[in-house]
Amino acid sequence: MKKVLSLICFFSFILSFNSLFAQDTAAALGADLINYKKRSPVYDYSENNLNNMDTIPDFDNKPNKLMISGTIYQYDGTPAADVILYVYQPDEDGNFEMKRDSNRKRYVHHSGWIKTDADGKYTLYTFMPGKYKHTKELKQIHRVVKEPGKPEYDLNPFFFNDDPLIPELTLACRSRMINSMLKLEKKGTMYVATRDIKLPKNVLLDQ
């Protein structure tokens, strides 16, 4: 009888422990899920596919294809290795196409992640973004950077030197945009732009 009671107590303890462990695990997972939904999308990449080249979704179906390439440098001029560059953009009509992943987190469909190689090189295949009609907003591709050992931060977006709204900007605005301005060339069926990126010494400074 004592053995039976001992077994019952033992299994009751195991069940109680497993129940508490499951609750703690669920709570932890719930916290992780909340943090996942709130964190910057620069972290939402697939490690298996992360390299110094990426292609924005729907690239093959877009008429105005665009290749952007260059080198990312540290503020002292040395190539910046293992830097993650996250880009996102509107479609050709100026709309951000939003979707949800398996955890119901909203994300911009036309986005991509690049991790620079040892030489700081990167290449992005995308398409020309549009802008909202009847608004004075420049065409742009947004950028977020994550350096090893540092928090993520925004860079000025990529702008386009042929944007018809640029002449309306002040000289101060244009001077701030110069380091992120893309000069397009047409090569075959694709627009091509080369733009090196120099990371700021102080992340509070604008790029």
Distance CA(52)–CA(116), nearest Å, equals: 5
What percentage of the chain reaches a pLDDT higher than 90? 62
The 10s digit of each residue's pLDDT in 139-187 is 999 999 999 999 999 999 999 999 988 988 899 998 889 889 999 999 9
Distance CA(101)–CA(3), nearest Å, equals: 52
16 pLDDT more than 50? no
| Nearest C-alpha neighbor of 113 from the set 158, 67, 56 | 56
Mean pLDDT of the chain: 84
Which alpha helices (H) appear in the chain, and where do they start and end? 2-38, 171-177
Distance CA(98)–CA(114), nearest Å, equals: 20
Distance CA(198)–CA(80), nearest Å, equals: 9
